Amino acid sequence: MTNKPATIKEIAKKLGVSTSTVSRGLHDHPSIGLTTRMRIKKVAEELNYTPNQTAIFLQKGKTFTIGVILPELSEAFFSAAISGIEDTANKKNYHVLMAQSHDNAEKEKHLVEKMKSHRVDGLIVSVSKETSSFDHFTNLRKHNIPVVFFDRIPSLDNVHYVACNMETGTIEAVTYLLKKGHRAIAMINGPSTLLASNERKEGYIKAHTKNRLKYDPSLIASCNLTEEGTIKAMDELLANKRKPTAIVAFNDYVSLYAIRYARRLNLTINKDIEFVSYANLPLINFMDHVPTASVEQHPYLQGQKATDILLDLLNNPDNAQQAFYKVIIESQLIENNKTIGSI
Amino acid sequence: MTNKPATIKEIAKKLGVSTSTVSRGLHDHPSIGLTTRMRIKKVAEELNYTPNQTAIFLQKGKTFTIGVILPELSEAFFSAAISGIEDTANKKNYHVLMAQSHDNAEKEKHLVEKMKSHRVDGLIVSVSKETSSFDHFTNLRKHNIPVVFFDRIPSLDNVHYVACNMETGTIEAVTYLLKKGHRAIAMINGPSTLLASNERKEGYIKAHTKNRLKYDPSLIASCNLTEEGTIKAMDELLANKRKPTAIVAFNDYVSLYAIRYARRLNLTINKDIEFVSYANLPLINFMDHVPTASVEQHPYLQGQKATDILLDLLNNPDNAQQAFYKVIIESQLIENNKTIGSI
DNA sequence: ACTGAGAAGTCAAACGTTTGCGTTGGTTTA
DNA sequence: TAAACCAACGCAAACGTTTGACTTCTCAGT
């Protein structure tokens, strides 16, 4: 008997009223008398009634669900981001349908289809590394499904996005090192295909010119973000005529690879060479030899903002087609306060 | 025109057939002629038809969606687990509706309600630390919503779960230390309310008796898993008449807190005192002073298994009420191969 | 030429809600 | 006292699919 969930019909029958009355009663519609309203709610309680959302979805043509497609949940950055998404979505009674592309363009395409057929109200996406065509996203506009991108933004005009400006953080980082007296500051950058790499480079250059120092291109090395790539880049930089005394690394991992390698070369961290990096991973707190500072990219905040934007788009559909949200979160240099220090 | 998604009705009208024909045609029902079937599919393609899942849900009384409630996504363990859940669910064309309890019992209750009204077909749960009453879960049985727990299992009979057996891993860990010559092996355990704590304790004891050593209760300290708690436990253990030369810590974090504290006390890691721990977090690879081994709990695998079980339960509803899946994954000691070592 | 059997479709109900529009009675207004 | 009004509720359509039951047509078998 408690087998199938109770419906509005049953509670209507039990009270000898119509289903419409029950529906309105449950929603406190003014045209339903107070007494019947109470009786309805009482029976609903007794029968343990919970509205069947799928029916409501069908009827309203909305699902109150937002789809999230991101590359890889196990990356700390993304799990923090989805945490932000989830929290703010839930606050507004929206649900989150999540899926990972595993950085596979084909899979990403499929996921978009799935989300579409699931009739998500909107989509939040951080695109896969390998995605080169964005048709599956632009097509969504025809279906009136707004999309908000975060962090990994497609090179498209007319999209909503929130991203972190790496330039300012980089300027901070380089300036921080300059103030500490470093003059030969190198950078291990990421692949030049990434927007984020360019921002870093720009920041690096601007920080130098701002401080009336000339920018030395040979102090910037690119790498593919793997450990081997990092080592290559290190070799390249250390072989330079101007041997760097500080290095800005693309992210905390690259930085840790580099530090590990530097120590293998018997360089003393923070004496022979100092590191600054990006991401500000929590693991930093447990380590002895770490970058002295790290540029925080606020993944949780990015998730929050992206959700805010999407929800706004959903509630004011007119906004979606004309103006485009381009929210830039300023990255921020954070010094690592090492409780132990390098003993 | 491409505004609202195309429906089965429109394609029926366009072809001058009935909606049922279209529906059947799209599903390759034998009673629809090959030619019309083709025409149907062609028009569907043209109109860019994607079935409205919410309508299907309503009609079938199933949502092909599984709900996942877990404490905290930002914990590496859980993000790995949900990765496993998501991947296997997607493989079978199920969707994942995710939510975090943030270790808050009240919130967890709410989430269950939400999942219910969303008519998820089933639930995968890792219970919050603070949950003491499990009614909101047991009630689900009345609604025929199967639940599979993983990792954090409620102390209930008649539930499906997959968990990692900490006992074997602990035995391995202690034996590992014994073989290395340690005789005073301590343990920093978690709260005794956790099943996982008991398993660790059992393993600890069994490892000793197996090796014909007597078990010394004063070498086991409990802590609340915070840094302060860990320090307290360390103080307690180090003050013992038999000063431990090795410590098995509840998880990698506790272990890192303990190591940090030990170093502050000028103890040399791996000489004065050695650590072994649980979780096998990736960050271990980057650190100098780490537990020499760690018990892997296979979060991804747990997620996979839990999903497999749930899907089986969904497709064979009779299974759900009688037999209860109790899948135990053996934990496994993994030595940390430090590429640097403690210089 | 008649029956029976597929083949190929159609009809309509059902899933659980919501909502515009009607329908009641009863009370106020002029 | 009739016209007007309002509170309180019922009717039925609609959302997009699926599916059991029914219809029509064609053709083979006798």
Of A117, A144, A343, the CB nearest to B50: A117
Give nucleotides in strand D with any atom < 7 A to a protein C-beta: 7-12, 14-21
* pLDDT at residue A273, rounded to an integer: 96
Quick one: pLDDT at residue A1?
Answer: 42
Cα–Cα dist B181/B183, whole Å = 6
Per-residue pLDDT at B259: 93
Give φ, ψ of A302 to 5 degrees.
-60, -45
- Check B288 against A287: CB less than 8 A apart: yes
- pLDDT for residue A286: 77
Cα→Cα distances A308→A85, A256, A327, Å = 9, 34, 11
- Closest CA in chain A for residue B77: A74
pLDDT score of A319 = 66
Residues of chain A with pLDDT under 70: 1-3, 319-321, 337-343
Answer for the pair B85, A62: CB distance below 8 angstroms, yes or no: no
Check A55 against B58: CB less than 8 A apart. yes
Decide if B188 contacts B250 (C-beta within 8 A).
yes
- pTM of this prediction? 0.83
- pLDDT tens across the length of chain B (343 residues): 446 789 999 999 999 999 999 999 999 999 999 999 999 999 999 999 999 999 999 999 998 899 999 999 888 899 999 999 999 998 888 989 999 999 999 999 999 988 988 889 999 999 998 888 899 999 888 888 999 999 988 888 889 999 998 999 999 999 999 999 999 999 999 988 778 899 999 999 999 999 999 999 999 999 988 899 999 999 999 999 999 999 999 998 899 999 999 999 999 999 999 999 998 777 777 777 889 999 999 999 999 999 999 999 998 877 656 789 999 999 889 887 654 433 2
Among B26, B74, B267, pick the best mutation site for testing chain A contact (most A Cβ within 10 A).
B74
Domains of chain A in start order, with CATH, are 8-51 (no CATH), 62-164+299-329 (3.40.50.2300), 166-296 (3.40.50.2300)
Tokens of A150: 């975060």
How many angstroms separate the CA atoms of B160 and B183, rounded?
A: 39
pLDDT at B340: 41
Nearest Cα to Cα of residue B180 among B242, B262, B271, B255: B271
A342 interfacial to chain B (CB closer than 8 Å): no
Q: Which of B91, B65, B69 is closest to B82 using CA atoms? A: B69
Q: How far, in whole angstroms, is CA B226 from its chain's centroid?
A: 21
Amino acid at the residue A110: H
